[in-house]
Structure 1
Amino acid sequence: MTAALARHHARRGLNVRVFKTGPDFLDPMILERACGAPVHSLHLSMVGLDACRALLAQAARAADLMLIEGVMGLFDGTPSSADLAAAFKVPVLAVIGAHGMAQTFGAIAFGLARYREDVPFHGVLANRVASARHAQMLSETIPEGLRYCGHLSNANDMALPERHLGLTQPGEIAGLDARLDRAADAIAQTTLAELPPPVHFDDATLPAPPRLLDGMHIAIARDAAFSFVYPANVDLLIAMGATISTFAPLADEPAPDDADALYLPGGYPELHAATLAANARARASIAEHVARGKAVVAECGGMLYLVDTLTDIEGKRHAMLGILPGDASLQRKLSRLAMQRVDTPRGTMMGHTFHYSTFATPMQPVLKATHATTGAEGEAIYRHGSITATYMHAYWPSNPAAAAALFRGESL
């Protein structure tokens, strides 16, 4: 629905900026395709209140429309999408799946609108509606004082395919733009076809980070196997003085010889394990980089690429790079999903974890993250020579000094 709104208004020639609530990599890829601009995360804990305010203010200077896609249900999580909306007085559009529902639709809409007085409420959109008669029934259930914004049908030609970890990546979805256009056409038949009332955002900026990476060349693995990268993380590296390049291990592109550090982000190495295992040029270049004592930052899927073996969901074992001791295995059930924080001598760094694999290793962690709200034990952080590896996806702007230390090959 967020992508449909973005595509509809972008087709009208408006400057549309979209944000995603909380940690996510896959939804922002679809949203970027819909609006044509990078999609940053907003989260009161991971990103922080001041940084959220600055990101919103920056976008508001240029955008005609700003959309913030929520996460889970409106009030789910700590902090929740509702907390974000309340903090910045952003009106909420509740999208309710109406399949198999009649009068209860109005009760749910009423409950969402009235549950918290500090959450501005714009209206409600009915999704997956079976027929015109069904739509009429739903609209008649809305109590007086609530805005009914219309409905979208349950047509499958707008659905987006999913796999473990979330949506399928845009480059793998046949006819994605056609799907987005059909969804935008449906939005055009609702009251959301026009812009909502304007919202004021206070002007805000954050101080420039220290240039702790001046003169450094950081190469980032970017392809269908390694694609889970926060735009804000790359922006931070550049702001701290680094030059960024990319290489594609899946295409057997070698890491650049002159790179001072490598970043191997998360993604889907398990879907491409056989190809990655066979790509000798990429393998040799990374091994040479490590042999020269240069820094490597490996997160989640990037860490799995470096281990001895990776066993896929079908039970087939693949030899990986053999640079980190240990063996990883995919499983059908979720291993861990949680917001994370790691307390370092340089301060706290925020992030999250989300994976279906397990990792057995003789390495001992140098640090352990904790659950961001409960304090329960979180992901291990390993140091092996010049490599820092972990399942945790760190949000580097939460601690620029610690991020810079990673790429300089220093301990956190």
Structure 2
Amino acid sequence: MSEAYCPALLVSAPASGQGKTLLTAALARRHRDLGRTVRVFKCGPDFLDPMILERACGAPVPNLDLFMGGEAHCRALLHEAAREADLILVEGVMGLFDGDPSAADLAARLGLPVMATIDGSAMAQSFGALVHGLATYRSDIRLAAVIGNRVGSERHAAMLRDSLKGDVRWLGTMPRDAEIDLPERHLGIVQAGEIADLDARIRRAAQLLPADADWLPEPVALAHPEAPSPPASLHGTRIAIARDVAFAFLYPANVALLRRMGAELRFFSPLCDSRLPDCDALWLPGGYPELHIAQLSENRTMLESIRDHHATGKVILAECGGMIYCADSLNDGCGTSGDMLGILPGHVVMQRRLAALGLQKMAMPEGTLRGHTFHYSRFDTSLTADRIATNPNGGAGERLYYRGSLTASYVHFYFPSNAGTIAGIFGTRVSG
């Protein structure tokens, strides 16, 4: 067992939509501007918020999830960050106590103090009641500080401050400001690379933080048991990974694990490149293929290159948006459709409402993988699923399909949940 010490805060709220992501980004940039090394994490399964946070702190933003990665894995990630950081920030998920596991569960298990941000725009003294509830609802977490968000005036700020009881530290308020709001679409915040003035928004948000936001909490002891490194069982395996604005949902921990296992990673763009790089296996992660139907459909040399890869029995792992790309066609539900790879029989149609959301546990021949699902599309197919996941919270389980060397599912897999399974998937060649 080894320990590292670093000031740390879990940034949470009483509900979604309170401004956690922007506030966490502003705090990261503010402390970075003060010359501090800041490392940021995201609680739970999420791809979009970490993109924003990475721009703010200047380093990859791993996910911390007790179900997908487990406590020891979360401890190891925090311990590694604490060895080099002056401050660790963890953005929570939904409300502090929402979900199973919740952000509060993470704070309790890992000993992280909590800072709350609360949208005070439509309240006064009730702000204090909310803070009191967050601070006392569970005895195994500590609410250390609070910031009022979207506050209209100094008088309004004073009412919020005066409503507080107990020893929760008041850090001040953030004003309402349209110039710092982050645009959203159906899966959440727009991808960082698509917000042209993102750096300016983050910089302005950092400047609008109250002076007391420069505060550093007491260092937290972050310990984890020493664990052996995963075997280099993918040594020399060349894995092509789709990465562009259509396929950007990549957990940093997934990429890091493949590298630690000895794989050679070769990133490419299904949108812009003419063909696959030389590779033994292909990973098509999730993203927004529905926003780029014409460009994907018209890149015929890339389509043929991936079809040839599949036809020769080389491995393909396709997740959510990647699975959609493998289907016969994609319709955005608004009149635009196009042919896709056609290596997974079926057609995908985008829906106006959320089709599936939840944690997933998939038993596969190589072993069980954990992950999550979040999509607005429907896959219409005559295929019978080869595997069906289970949801630990009782929701629906996603289906998984094998088609020759192709493994496809709506599930976004978290590779560190079972390194051996990942080695089995990417290290296996199946006759097409």
Q: TM-score band, normalised by the shorter chain?
A: over 0.9
Q: Residue 227 of structure 1 aligns to a residue in which SS?
A: coil
Aligned to 1:119: 141
2:343 corresponds, among 323, 342, 365, to: 323
- Give the counterpart letter for 2:168 in structure 1: L
- Give the counterpart letter for 1:76 in structure 2: D
Aligned length in residues: 408
Aligned to 1:181: 203
Higher RCO by CA contacts (8 Å cutoff, separation 6 or greater)? 2
Shift of residue 203 of structure 1? 4.6
Shift of residue 339 of structure 1? 0.5
2:316 corresponds, among 296, 309, 317, to: 296
Larger displacement relative to structure 2 (397-406 or 105-114): 397-406
Which blocks of at least 5 consecutive residues in structure 1 are unaligned? none
Matched, 1:231 2:215: no
- Give the counterpart letter for 2:335 in structure 1: G
Superposed CA deviations along residues 178-210 of structure 1, whole A, max 9, x for unmatched, are 1000111122x2312132221111254432112
Matched, 1:390 2:412: no
TM-score normalized by structure 1?
Answer: 0.97
Aligned to 2:427: 408
2:55 corresponds, among 33, 37, 42, to: 33
- Give the counterpart letter for 1:401 in structure 2: G
Aligned to 2:302: 282
Q: Residue 222 of structure 2 aligns to a residue in which SS?
A: coil
Larger displacement relative to structure 2 (268-277 or 360-369): 360-369
2:167 corresponds, among 133, 137, 145, to: 145
Matched, 1:96 2:151: no
Q: Is the 8 A contact 2:366 2:425 kept in 1?
A: no
Superposed CA deviations along residues 325-372 of structure 1, whole A, max 9, x for unmatched, are 100000110000001111234443110000000001122221110102
Identity %: 53
When the two chains are superposed, the root-mean-square deviation of aligned CA atoms in Å is 1.3
CA distance in structure 2 between the partners assigned to 1:377 and 1:141 by the alignment = 43
Q: Is the 8 A contact 1:151 1:190 kept in 2?
A: no
Q: Residue 228 of structure 1 aligns to a residue in which SS?
A: coil
1:51 corresponds, among 54, 62, 73, to: 73
Q: Is the 8 A contact 1:306 1:321 kept in 2?
A: yes
* Displaced runs of 4 or more, over 2 A: 203-206, 343-348, 408-411
Q: Is the 8 A contact 1:209 1:240 kept in 2?
A: yes
Q: Is the 8 A contact 1:387 1:409 kept in 2?
A: no
TM-score normalized by structure 2?
Answer: 0.92
- Give the counterpart letter for 1:221 in structure 2: A
Aligned to 1:15: 37
Shift of residue 79 of structure 1? 0.8
Shift of residue 215 of structure 1? 1.5
Q: Is the 8 A contact 2:72 2:224 kept in 1?
A: no
Q: Is the 8 A contact 1:75 1:81 kept in 2?
A: yes
Q: Residue 244 of structure 1 aligns to a residue in which SS?
A: strand
- Give the counterpart letter for 1:220 in structure 2: I
Shift of residue 241 of structure 1? 1.3
Q: Which residues of 2 match residues 337-348 of structure 1 at below 5 A?
A: 337-348=357-368
